Amino acid sequence: MTPVLEISGLRKTYRSRKGVRNALDGFDMVVEAGQVHGFLGPNGSGKTTTLRTLLGLIKPNGGRMAILGREVPQHLPEVAGQVGAIVESPQFFGNFSAELTLSLLADAGGVNRSRVPAVLDQVGLRDRSKERVKTYSLGMKQRLAVASALLKEPKLLILDEPANGLDPGGIREMRTLMRDLSDSGMTVLLSSHILGEIQLICDSVTIISAGRRVTSGSVAEVLAQHTSGAVRVRLETGVDLLDAATTLREAGAQVTLENDYFTVANATNPALITKVLAQRGVYVSELTPVSADLEDVFLELTGTAPVAGQNRQVDESSISGAKNGWGQ
């Protein structure tokens, strides 16, 4: 099936008096139909630039983009009706109600007003829809923004940092909303730097750093590619941890001591830990792999930002086996 969204080699250079900045440096992304896709990256990594370029709001310096199989920006008018987006947080008129706001937006967009109660239901604002927007919480304003993007029944919904500024309750509501939309068949692309949320909401992710994709895939795949390789080791009670740690360090292990256990960061072959220690008459009582979460992966990948000007995606070279494991 044609992906809903394809970006390859996207470049955007901002020029200012201070010089030239490559906001996007050959960026790639693919979003398959029916997914909730997380677009993750640290501040300034190029997320908003990507989304604005995609929507024809700024002009790229190179690369290709396609939405629903049509090249954009050339064919944007043909697909624009199927894309709902909130990129800059929209400003609503505080004295209007949500219902009036959406009715006016429906008129302006040539959408039948019958969609208004439907989208209000979808985002859970029906009960408060006759109240003025200035009485709404931030979370409700965010939901009104989503409602406005849903008016034209888009196939693809693009949201830039929808959880920004929301408290945990608001984030949970947003998460449920994203799930419901996805269950109804919509493809959702959402940018965020809230990693835990992406891990919970999204089926797949693209991680961007310094204008380049550093990894992508299903959340499970991305996590699997980056299993921390670390193991937690506990020893029989009464054994001197420091002694055992020293023994392992001499054998090349990267050991971090904790209170009543230690971790070995580069344990590609955990059996070697038991072997080295057993040779000294020390026995392991627990050996647990430390699983990576998306936050670990994110920090690992974006902490080692790609080198500007080098013409390759970092994920093509760094994932498989580049880590220097111990005991291979």
What is the rounded CA–CA span in Å between residue 10 and residue 274?
49
Nearest in space to 234 (alpha carbons), one of 244, 225, 223? 244
Minimal distance, residue 163 CB to ligand ATP, in Å = 12
Residue type, 253: A
Q: Please, which residue, 45 or 129, has the CB nearer to ligand ATP? A: 45
Cβ-contact 65, 137 below 8 angstroms:
no
| Partner interacting with residue 155 (select from ligand ATP, Mg ion, none; CB below 5-8 Å by kind) | none
| Partner interacting with residue 43 (select from ligand ATP, Mg ion, none; CB below 5-8 Å by kind) | ligand ATP
Residue type, 106: A
Check binding of 48 to Mg ion (CB under 5 A). yes
Minimal distance, residue 44 CB to Mg ion, in Å = 8
End-to-end CA distance of the chain: 40
Q: Please, which residue, 1 or 17, has the CB nearer to ligand ATP? A: 17
Check binding of 53 to Mg ion (CB under 5 A). no
| 147 CB burial (10 A radius; 0-12, 13-18, 19+) | buried
| Partner interacting with residue 49 (select from ligand ATP, Mg ion, none; CB below 5-8 Å by kind) | ligand ATP
Nearest in space to 38 (alpha carbons), one of 146, 193, 155? 193
Minimal distance, residue 44 CB to ligand ATP, in Å = 4
Check binding of 209 to Mg ion (CB under 5 A). no
The two structure tokens encoding residue 233: 């080791």
Minimal distance, residue 64 CB to ligand ATP, in Å = 19
Cβ-contact 27, 208 below 8 angstroms:
yes
Minimal distance, residue 164 CB to ligand ATP, in Å = 9
Check binding of 45 to Mg ion (CB under 5 A). no
Check binding of 97 to Mg ion (CB under 5 A). no
Rg of the chain's alpha carbons, rounded to an integer? Answer: 24
Using the structure block, give the residue that is written with the tokens 């409602």: 147
Residue ranges that bind ligand ATP, judged by CB under 6 A: 14, 16, 21, 23, 41, 43-49, 193
Minimal distance, residue 24 CB to ligand ATP, in Å = 8
What is the rounded CA–CA span in Å between residue 31 and residue 53?
16
Q: Please, which residue, 48 or 318, has the CB nearer to Mg ion? A: 48
Identify any residues that bridge with 208 across adjacent strands, giving them in sequence order: 213
Which stretches of the chain bind Mg ion, using CB under 5 A?
47-48
